[in-house]
Amino acid sequence: MPQTENTENEKGQATRLLALLSACGISASLAIYAESFLRPRADIISLWWVVLILGWMALFIPIYALEYPESRSPSFAWKGFARGTPKWVAPCSWLLAAIAVLNFAWFAAHAGWGVPEIHDGQYVLNARGHVLKVLTQLEYFQLRAAEARLFATTMIYFYFLPLMYWWFRPSQKLTV
C-alpha cells in the first residue's frame, strides 16, 4: 500500500512540475510582450523564439501521446484538452487565440507581406529577398515590436493549453 501512495504522489508532482514549466513559458511570453512596449530593440525575440518553441513542444508532446488518438482530431486544441477541467478553460483558450489572431491581423495590416529587416545597413520591409519598402528607424522598431507582440501572444496561447492540461488533469494519466 505505501508503494502505491508514493507512486501516486510522484505522478502528482510530475504533473505539477509540467504545469509550473508551462506557467514559466507564459511568464516569459508576458515579459516579451511587456518589453515590446518599453524599449525598441531589433533582437527582441531572437533567442526567446527558439527557447519558447522548443519548451512548448516538450510540454505538448506528452499530452499528444497520452491523449492519442483523440489528440489527432483538429478540435482537440479547441475543446478536447479541456475535458475534466473547469468550464472557463475552453472559453479562455478561445479568447487567447482571438487575441493572437488580432495581433497577427494588426501586424499584417502594417507590414503587408513583408517582415522588417536590416538589409545593407537600411531598414526595410522584406518579402522573400525583395525589398517592398524602405522604412524609417521608427517604423522599423514599431514593426519589430508588433512582431514581438504577435510572437508573445501566440506563445501565451500555446502555453495555456499545457498549463491547464497538466494542472487540472488527474495524475493517474501520467506514467512515471
Query: Could you report the per-residue pLDDT of 113-134, keeping only the tens digit for each?
Result: 888 888 888 999 988 888 989 9
87-102 average pLDDT score: 92
Rounded to 10 deg, the angle between the 137-168 and 46-66 helix axes is 20
Do 110 and 146 form a contact (C-beta atoms < 8 A)? Answer: yes
pLDDT of residue 13: 83
Range of weakest confidence among 2-11, 41-50, 139-148, 151-160: 2-11
Q: Rounded to whole angstroms, how far apart are CA atoms 38 and 40?
A: 7
Nearest to 116 by CA among 45, 35, 37, 42: 42
SS3 68: coil
Residues above pLDDT 90, as percent of the chain? 37
Cβ-Cβ contacts under 8 Å for 128 (sequence gap 6 or more): none
pLDDT of residue 175: 47
Confidence of residue 150 (pLDDT cuts 50, 70, 90): very high
pLDDT of residue 25: 95
> For the chain, how big is the Rg over CA atoms in Å?
20
Residue 123's H or E segment, with its range, is strand 122-127
Nearest to 27 by CA among 154, 159, 150: 159
Do 7 and 176 form a contact (C-beta atoms < 8 A)? Answer: yes
Looking at the predicted structure, is the pLDDT value of residue 1 above 70?
Answer: no
Range of weakest confidence among 61-70, 128-137, 141-150: 61-70
Q: Rounded to whole angstroms, how far apart are CA atoms 114 and 110?
A: 9
pLDDT of residue 9: 64
Looking at the predicted structure, is the pLDDT value of residue 56 above 90?
Answer: yes
Q: Rounded to whole angstroms, how far apart are CA atoms 11 and 4?
A: 11
Looking at the predicted structure, is the pLDDT value of residue 154 above 90?
Answer: yes
pLDDT of residue 172: 44
Confidence of residue 176 (pLDDT cuts 50, 70, 90): very low
